[in-house]
Chain A
């Protein structure tokens, strides 16, 4: 492999990381504010993909625009889900058995409703963008990856502004830092939780639409991405939005390079072997275990530990 190919892979990994970040951020804010591991995230991702598909097929809406329309639609949907189901859960500082099982049950319901509505065939969204590509010297990048990346980054920037410049963002951050102190200074935790759940769901629907443009999907679509989201937010430390971006970049790079770079293997002497492509799916989980063992609090603990030592 020469350097151009490596650069090509690196670019593709970074473009993928943008979508990964948009996908994981919804789960992170929900975990941060409510301490709920939202297993239904996978269901929302899948619904987002089907939403973009339906908008495209029925109303000829561009899937990028469809994904952006998914933001307010899924925001309302998420608030409804919170109002109907999530708010009845007992509050806790750590994820409870009940919250895990509730969200899991909801995922099962979403998934199997999707099976009833759309069947189990693989679907994909094909637009003129899908097949065209842009040339940068010797490197060619599919246009769809670029557009999806731009949309994802744009929404992440908007989220970051909401998070740091609005009262809603401020109350969210307060609840993440210390729920009791936040309530003492007058943060309405129920209202903030409802809005946060809406926000997390909105981003799941949005990211689902984007992922649907890059990969084919079926009602079981969300599961591998749910696991990737887990890995990303564990890398990012479960509670910080900027950590998510870092985790997404790291995962995307390792996934891309893991099967394209020969690994040294000791078997009757040193030799280099490629990891079989089918093992690519194992990389996120291998990474998860390694991170859990070395940095149980995520990448951010690496920096804070250094900070404290200094």
Chain B
């Protein structure tokens, strides 16, 4: 990792930790169940947003199929809890199943160039939902209910969601600063050139897909445990996959904090708007997506950076112009 330099450099190191401490201490200040619930759902979505960004943002492989992993996480956790295991074992089990599924999807499709992976991810979501709607073990389309024998603890759910989002940030940061992350960025820019300098694009994509799937499944498990009731039309819905894709794109793909920003905005807005206007929020997200793609491909984070760097950039330009070399 780079050594921090200057005030901004140190702030970048300190702020995330400060944020984490605030989030961990927050329940002590008893801000009310509603705030905790809102933060819980935001943390779950932010985790999936960060996970999608690993594959879509860093490696440039768009997937519409993250609902599969989210749903698999939810169902595996529920089934394992039903069998008498601890929910935390359930989260890990969900991650394992999702990683297996990610290989099943990735092994055939990552061999191909072009749009095949994207197409396959749409197909897989649809197929998995149809199968889950008809599967007797999980109650089919009428859903599945989790019963816990311990009392409902708002804080435990909250802390597990915060832990998941912290894990996702940690994994993203480690990958972004590693040789592996560099390889992923090379693949995104030019797969042939990456292959020429010795990057194995196929296995790199497979591994990052697996990591992303595992994180998404953990988020799915945490969501399911809190919701206590869920059905395939909810966790496996195409729109769940869409939401997971929208957050990082809106926030700014390819960075660590862009998806966090996107997830936070999405989580807050979703909770407030979608109840009152069930269709309006997708209309807004669609328009926002168009505007972002055409005008600011780096998302809101890119926009913020542009605003705050306006002066230094101009200074740098004048410096360059004044340089006789």
B131-A282 in contact (CB<8A):
yes
Minimum C-beta distance from B277 to chain A (A): 9
B122-A108 in contact (CB<8A):
no
CB under 8 Å from chain A, chain B span 230-258: 238, 242, 249
A278-B134 in contact (CB<8A):
yes
Set of chain A residues within 8 Å of B122, measured between Cβ atoms: 226-227, 230
B134-A276 in contact (CB<8A):
yes
- B16 CB within 8 Å of chain A: no
A296-B112 in contact (CB<8A):
yes
Chain A interface main SS type: helix
The 24 listed contacts between A and B (C-beta, < 8 Å) are: A37-B115, A37-B118, A37-B119, A85-B290, A97-B56, A97-B60, A100-B115, A102-B290, A105-B289, A105-B290, A108-B283, A112-B279, A112-B282, A112-B283, A112-B286, A227-B122, A227-B123, A227-B126, A230-B122, A278-B130, A278-B134, A286-B127, A289-B120, A292-B116
CA distance A224 to B130 in the complex (A): 12
CA distance A115 to B289 in the complex (A): 19
Set of chain A residues within 8 Å of B134, measured between Cβ atoms: 276, 278-279
Set of chain A residues within 8 Å of B293, measured between Cβ atoms: 98, 101-102, 105
Q: A88-B294, A100-B62 are in contact. Are A289 and B283 (CB under 8 A)?
A: no
Q: A95-B114, A279-B130 are in contact. Are A288 and B283 (CB under 8 A)?
A: no
The listed residue (A107, A115, A234, A276) touching B116 by CB distance below 8 A is A234
Set of chain B residues within 8 Å of A224, measured between Cβ atoms: 126
Rank and list the top 4 A-B pairs by shortest CB-CB distance, nearest first: A108-B286, A105-B289, A285-B123, A112-B283
- A212 CB within 8 Å of chain B: no
A289-B123 in contact (CB<8A):
yes
Interface mask (B65-108 → A, CB under 8 Å = 1, otherwise 0)? 00000000000000000000000000000000000000000001
Minimum C-beta distance from B6 to chain A (A): 33
- B280 CB within 8 Å of chain A: yes
A296-B111 in contact (CB<8A):
yes
Minimum C-beta distance from A259 to chain B (A): 13
Q: A88-B294, A113-B283, A223-B238 are in contact. Are A282 and B127 (CB under 8 A)?
A: yes
Nearest-neighbor residue (CB-CB) of A101 within chain B = B293
Q: Which of A106, A108, A109, A223 has the most CB of B within 10 A?
A: A108
CA distance A100 to B285 in the complex (A): 15
- B179 CB within 8 Å of chain A: no
Q: Which of A37, A107, A113, A223 has the most CB of B within 10 A?
A: A37
Q: Please give 4 more A-B residue pairs, beta carbons under 8 A apart, in addition to A95-B118, A101-B62, A102-B294.
A: A104-B289, A231-B123, A281-B130, A289-B108
Q: A101-B249, A285-B123, A288-B120 are in contact. Are A94 and B114 (CB under 8 A)?
A: yes
B283-A292 in contact (CB<8A):
no
- A158 CB within 8 Å of chain B: no
- B133 CB within 8 Å of chain A: yes
- A284 CB within 8 Å of chain B: yes
Set of chain B residues within 8 Å of A309, measured between Cβ atoms: none
CB under 8 Å from chain A, chain B span 268-304: 279-280, 282-283, 285-290, 293-294, 297
CA distance A88 to B282 in the complex (A): 23
Q: A residues touching B (Cβ–Cβ < 8 Å)?
A: 31, 37, 85, 88, 94-95, 97-98, 100-102, 104-109, 111-113, 115-116, 223-224, 226-227, 230-231, 234, 276, 278-279, 281-282, 284-286, 288-289, 292-293, 296
Q: A112-B283, A224-B126 are in contact. Are A234 and B113 (CB under 8 A)?
A: no
Minimum C-beta distance from A34 to chain B (A): 12
CA distance A293 to B294 in the complex (A): 35
Set of chain B residues within 8 Å of A281, measured between Cβ atoms: 126-127, 130
CA distance A14 to B298 in the complex (A): 47
Total count of chain B residues near the partner, CB < 8 A: 39
Set of chain B residues within 8 Å of A97, measured between Cβ atoms: 56, 60, 62
Nearest-neighbor residue (CB-CB) of B281 within chain A = A112
Nearest-neighbor residue (CB-CB) of A224 within chain B = B126
CA distance A94 to B114 in the complex (A): 6
Set of chain B residues within 8 Å of A85, measured between Cβ atoms: 290, 294
B116-A284 in contact (CB<8A):
no
A230-B123 in contact (CB<8A):
yes
Set of chain A residues within 8 Å of B23, measured between Cβ atoms: none
CA distance A217 to B17 in the complex (A): 51
Nearest-neighbor residue (CB-CB) of A102 within chain B = B293
- B109 CB within 8 Å of chain A: yes
The listed residue (B60, B249, B286, B297) touching A109 by CB distance below 8 A is B286
Q: A108-B289, A279-B130, A282-B127 are in contact. Are A94 and B113 (CB under 8 A)?
A: yes
Minimum C-beta distance from B173 to chain A (A): 22
The listed residue (A106, A116, A285, A288) touching B286 by CB distance below 8 A is A106
CA distance A131 to B56 in the complex (A): 48
Minimum C-beta distance from A98 to chain B (A): 5
Set of chain B residues within 8 Å of A292, measured between Cβ atoms: 108-109, 112, 116, 120
- B124 CB within 8 Å of chain A: yes
Minimum C-beta distance from A205 to chain B (A): 20
CA distance A218 to B322 in the complex (A): 62
Minimum C-beta distance from B186 to chain A (A): 15
Nearest-neighbor residue (CB-CB) of B123 within chain A = A285
CA distance A106 to B108 in the complex (A): 29
